[in-house]
Amino acid sequence: MQAAEREIAENIIRISGVNPRKCMKCGKCSGTCPAFNDMDIHPHQFVSMVEKGKIKELMKSKSIWTCLSCFACVERCPRNVEPVKLIEAARLSVIRRQGENHLKADEIPALLDENIPQQAIVSAFRKYSK
Amino acid sequence: MIYSYYPGCTLRTKAKDLDEYARKSAEVLGINLEELPDWQCCGAVYPLAQDEIATRLSSVRALASAGSLGRDLVTLCSACHHVIKRVNNDMKTNQDIRMKVNNYLEPDKEYAGETKVIHFLELLRDVVGFDELKKKVVNPLTGRKIGAYYGCLLLRPGDEMQFDNPENPAIMEDFIRSIGATPVVYPYRNECCGGYVSITEKSLSQKKCNTIVSSAAEKGADEIITACPLCMYNLDTNSTERKLPVRYFTELLAEALGVK
């Protein structure tokens, strides 16, 4: 049986170490996010939705796979909220479930070209699979 | 002084140039890099969740191993540097992580973040000194206009990485000057290349890389340098509109020192 939405929200706050209530909704994280145009839910909305406990929508969002972990939102947040850590925690809430990996090992060979560095494969696998 | 050196997985395979030219240059500069025995891959991304323990272990093993030799740990790949430096910070500041990692690893002496992690560029700036480096240049790269690409991982988060000013860095431009070339500052030098997303969403990385390379070219750069194998791949392969040669900073260093 799947955990209740409220329990997943509490877990996301716990494992991320983020307090979404610190957010003053200035939107700087979304303004600086290099993946903004490729996200359906943007970083500032993400913070607010975790605060409100709307976790299932976040777990279905495209944004958890397009966040680049570039830490621009961390560096530029005037309140030190660290939105990237909430996005990571939501992603982990998905891939830590049986059969929910976003990238599977047998898909990898078709995605490679001869110059792709190991670093790319290792990091994608760490981000998208458990 | 002898330093423990952590090459990382990619420097043994696709990024051999980054490694080889650093070793040759270090020899000329009197830096003794001794490769850490039995190092393991750092995992390439820093585990952001506080309950991730297993993904921190390989970094701690490297850190503790350098520490047991009484040495600082030198890194070269931006991703390795980012991961190892931040895990070290966790071991210093996060009691829960420190306890769980030490419980699992059972080291002879508990590890608590004592080892100093130094990126090769920091070694050039803070140990060799750019003025001293300049004196050792035998083949100055006069007239070459070079754009430094910092990317994300060396700079951010600034309070943990302590590498340079995260919004207006200067270390790579100072390096470029010290080898006799002209640095070209451009707006997108510390914006993301797309990183690992290029595996699953190539078009996103292409958009990022086109903006970065065009920005460097419009400001007058003829070539770009980086310290990161994934940035190198993305800037090279995923810039579809405008192309500039992308090289590792160590290749230009070796060229200037006459060991390429």
Residues of chain B with CATH 3.40.50.11810: 133-257
To 10 degrees, the CA torsion angle through B49, B53, B55, B60? 120
Smallest Cα distance from B123 to chain A, Å: 23
**Contact assignment for B192 to A34 by CB distance below 8 Å:** yes
- Does residue A102 belong to the interface with chain B, where contact is any CB pair within 8 Å? yes
Residue A2 has pLDDT above 70, yes or no: no
Q: What is the pLDDT of residue B241?
A: 96
Q: Kindly provide the ipTM of the predicted complex, given to two decimals.
A: 0.96
Q: Name the helix (H) or strand (E) containing B34.
A: strand B32-35
Give mean pLDDT, residues A110-130: 96
Going by pLDDT thresholds of 50, 70 and 90, the confidence category of residue A62 is: very high
Q: What is the pLDDT of residue A1?
A: 47
B133-257 has which CATH code?
3.40.50.11810
- Does residue A119 belong to the interface with chain B, where contact is any CB pair within 8 Å? yes
- Is domain B2-120 annotated with CATH 3.40.50.620? no
What are B86's two structure tokens? 């931040």
A13: Cβ–Cβ under 8 A, 6 or more apart, which residues?
A19, A20, A50, A89
- What would the pLDDT profile of A41-53 be if each residue is shown by its tens digit? 999 999 999 999 9
Report the length, in residues, of chain A: 130
Q: Quick one: closest CA in B to A96, which residue?
A: B52
Given A35, A75, A113, which is nearest B156 (Cβ)?
A75
Which residues in chain B show pLDDT less than 50? none
| Residue with token string 């086109």 | B210
Residue A65 has pLDDT above 60, yes or no: yes
Q: How many CA atoms lie within 13 A of A101 on its CB side?
A: 13
The whole-angstrom separation of Cα B115 and Cα B136 is 29
Given A14, A69, A119, which is nearest B9 (Cβ)?
A119
Size of interface A-B (CB pairs under 8 A): 129
**Contact assignment for A66 to B204 by CB distance below 8 Å:** yes
Count each helix (H run) and each strand (E run) in chain B, helices first. Answer: 12, 8
Q: What is the pLDDT of residue B56?
A: 98
| Residue with token string 């600082």 | B72
Q: Quick one: closest CA in B to A64, which residue?
A: B197
Smallest Cα distance from A96 to chain B, Å: 12
Q: What is the pLDDT of residue A3?
A: 73
The whole-angstrom separation of Cα B231 and Cα B192 is 9
Q: What is the pLDDT of residue B170?
A: 98
- Does residue A121 belong to the interface with chain B, where contact is any CB pair within 8 Å? yes
Q: Name the pTM for this structure.
A: 0.98
Write down the domain spans for chain A. 5-97
**Contact assignment for A71 to B195 by CB distance below 8 Å:** no
CB atoms within 10 A of CB B145: 16
- Does residue A62 belong to the interface with chain B, where contact is any CB pair within 8 Å? no
The residue among B160, B168, B172, B144 whose CA lies nearest residue B231 is B172
- Does residue A40 belong to the interface with chain B, where contact is any CB pair within 8 Å? no
The whole-angstrom separation of Cα B213 and Cα A115 is 19
Smallest Cα distance from B227 to chain A, Å: 13
- What would the pLDDT profile of A4-48 be if each residue is shown by its tens digit? 899 999 999 999 999 999 999 999 999 999 999 999 999 999 999
| Architecture label for domain A5-97 | Orthogonal Bundle (1.10)
List CB contacts (< 8 A) between A103 and chain B.
199-200
